[in-house]
Amino acid sequence: ERIEDKLYQNRYLVDPGRPHIKVRPHQSPSPNLLALTRVCPANCYELNESGQVEITPDGCMECGTCRVLCEASGYIEWNYPRGGFGILFKFG
């Protein structure tokens, strides 16, 4: 079985109104923040019309990439989803 098939079996449960990752308001994104629009494997980050980075954390795999790149500097706020929400990994 291909990894894509396995990933497809994962389910994501949205916690309405309680995103587990937030982008701090900014005028223009720092290079690290901008990089998230390319490196997030779930494509959660995108550039809006005003040139700011926005996140829609639905589908986040909790890989930690954005956390490593941007949490310490305060560009984003990163938390695990509440219990029972977020990515539900299924293996095998």
Q: Which two tokens stand for residue 81?
A: 């989803």
Cβ proximity to ligand SF4: between 22 and 83 the closer is: 22
Q: Whole-number minimum distance, CB 39 to ligand SF4, in Å?
A: 7
Q: How many Cα atoms occupy the beta-carbon half-sphere of 11 within 13 Å?
A: 5
CB neighbour list of residue 2: distance below 8 Å, 6 or more residues apart? none
What mask of x and - would describe binding to ligand SF4 in positions 32 to 71, judged by CB under 6 A? --------xxx-x------------x--xxxxxxxx----
In the block, residue with structure tokens 């829609």 = 56
User: Under the rule (CB under 6 A), what is the footprint of ligand SF4?
Assistant: 21, 40-42, 44, 57, 60-67
